[in-house]
A and B are shown apart, each in its own frame.
Chain A
Amino acid sequence: MQVTESIIMVIYLVVLTIIGIYFYRRARQSESDYFTAGQSINTFVGAFAIFAAVASSSSLLGAVGSGVALGVPYFFTYAFGVIAIMPFAMFLISGQIRRSGVKTVPEFFNQRFGSSVQIVAAVIVCVGMTFYMVPQLTASGIIGSYVLGIDYTTAVIVLGLGFTLYAALGGMWAITYTDLIQGIIMIVGIVILALAILMNHNGIGALIGDALSTDPEFGDITQPWMSYFGLFIAFLWFGIISPSVVMRNFASKSPRIARRTSMWACLIYLTLFVSGFIVTSAGASLGIIDTLDNTDMIFVSVIDHYLPAILGGIMLAGLLAAIMSSADAMLLAISAAIAHDIYKGYINKQASERFVTGLGLIIMILASVVGVIIAIDPPGLIAIMVGWVGGFLLSSFGFPIVLGIWWSRANTQGALAGMLSGAITFVILITSGVLPTNAEPIIAAPISLFLMIVVSLMTSPPPKEKQDLVEFYHTHLEDTN
């Protein structure tokens, strides 16, 4: 057991719980407060909130672990896709989807395509986000078992249920404000770690030299081209297809703040990954990757090797923070999909807001239990599991969202065909294993695009009010508040 690290982590989690309780009463005031923090988050808080939601455990542990195991170009591919998330989402959907005034991704599908598409989307959100809990829980288990000296399974169960309870209590208010703290710890922590590594190795040139002398393949392309390309597009689209990220966009005070928030989040991300490059090189220079039970542990080994215990404890708390904020945002997306979109939307339209948020709480706990059960024996590396979730959501939602916003001729039948064909093709490809890992969306997403266009054109156009809706989304530039 690492005593100093344990103490810091416990203090950290206690502080977060106090914040969660503080926001609990506020969050239960209304559904808008619970799911989107009452649309009143400012630029500074929002930038760290988006950053912390997107910077899942895989951003830190997974990207570094995969970079050390598969060569640094794999790490760069990860970064190349992830940093493009913010600009890509801003360019294509952020202003328009905010203009639509909806609260969740399935709600957008309802507005644009009707209830059938909304229900299918809500189911896909639940499946995707529940599976997305798995890499988060895997990472929390790795850190927890290292710091607390307990076995991995116990760490997954204790930490998983602990932060789920926290997320369930506070909704988006608590999540957004604790994200501010988590985001700052993550970014400051990794910059300090990178500086410590550079001082230890006398600069970046010497560090890369050390990494290459330990592992001559460190700079090589070690995987098939399709693996890199598939990973890149899965992350590139993540801001568009991930309900947890899109919901952050709705929490800003105004469109102008939402855009600036995304821009600053992009800079924070850039800093994270430039520092991550240094951490990856340091991980390779240690030459211990083959001795680890789990490749993703390399990040923790780098912290242990280069930082004193107190700083290491803060950094590990930051890592746990990254996991917690991502998992919390996912849980919120799952609970919004069922409680808000399906239950209130179709089953009981008269349900009180208090009941809907209470139902959301129960659903969060159920989803986390499923996630914990799968994470006890995780099916792959963290980076690869995150790539699967990104690929699945891209294949299902990518084109129905983008064409829904940009193409007035897209109709309900087309959206259903695109969504279902993308999701089913992805599942077939991943279970059959015919493609290199993470390459599935290269096939599944174009099938979704093709079928959505063809089916839309072969069936009758959407009613005039739906076509007008597309024009309305694009009046976001006239919305100047």
Chain B
Amino acid sequence: MASRSKLKDPGLILMIFLVLYALLVFVWWPADVYVYGISLVGWLMFAGLFFWFLLAIVYVIWIEKIEDRNNS
């Protein structure tokens, strides 16, 4: 049976980062601030696209490290 706490699951921890960034965008909502003619909301979301991919990479590497440790 499970030897790890669900609270230490990398997925749960990384999801918190995901939710925090989404909250930053939707709570702050700087709709009237413009950068190069486009609302800052749009640019924050655009930056978020790369952040999402970064989180996916971190998750895969993290889980594989845990698996390798379990194997050895």
Which A positions have Cβ atoms within 8 angstroms of B? 71-73, 76-77, 79-80, 83-84, 86-88, 90-92, 95, 205, 208-209, 212, 218-221, 225, 228-229, 232, 236, 256, 259-260, 262-263, 266-267, 270, 273-274, 277, 406, 468, 471-472, 474-475, 477-478, 480
Contacts and interface: CB of A to CB of B under 8 A. Distances in A.
Contacts of B64: 256, 259
Interface in B49-66: 49-50, 52-53, 55-57, 59-60, 63-64, 66
A84 B52 contact: yes
Nearest to B38: A219
A259 B59 contact: yes
Given A84-B48, A92-B11, A270-B50, 4 more contacts: A218-B37, A262-B56, A471-B2, A472-B1
B63 A76 contact: no
B37 A219 contact: yes
Interface string B10-27: 111011001000100110
B70 A219 contact: no
A258 B11 CA distance: 15
14 contacts: A76-B42, A84-B18, A87-B52, A87-B55, A88-B15, A90-B59, A92-B12, A221-B41, A225-B26, A259-B63, A262-B56, A266-B53, A474-B2, A480-B71
Contact of A477 (B39, B42, B57, B66): B66
B59 A73 contact: no
Contacts, number: 131
B38 A77 contact: no
A322 to B, nearest CB: 19
Contacts of B34: 219
Given A87-B59, A480-B70, A232 B52 contact: no
A72 B38 contact: yes
Interface residues of B, number: 43
B39 A73 contact: yes
B18 A73 contact: no
B52 A83 contact: yes
B18 A88 contact: yes
Given A72-B38, A219-B34, A87 B56 contact: yes
Contacts of A71: 39
B53 A83 contact: yes
Contact of A263 (B2, B45, B60): B60
A477 B4 CA distance: 9
Contact of B15 (A79, A92, A229, A256): A92
Given A91-B15, A92-B15, A219 B2 contact: no
B3 to A, nearest CB: 7
B15 to A, nearest CB: 4
Nearest to A260: B60
A77 B45 contact: yes
B56 A277 contact: no
A151 to B, nearest CB: 37
A312 B53 CA distance: 30
B51 to A, nearest CB: 9
Contact of B22 (A92, A220, A232, A259): A232
Contacts of A468: 1
Given A208-B37, A475-B1, A80 B31 contact: no
A55 to B, nearest CB: 14
B23 to A, nearest CB: 11
A73 B60 contact: no
Contacts of A236: 22
A260 B67 CA distance: 14
Q: Which of A208, A232, A474 has the most CB of B within 10 A?
A: A474
B32 to A, nearest CB: 8
Contacts of A209: 37
A117 B10 CA distance: 29
A256 B67 contact: yes
Contacts of A91: 10-12, 14-15, 18, 55, 59
B52 A266 contact: yes
B70 A477 contact: yes
Nearest to B3: A478
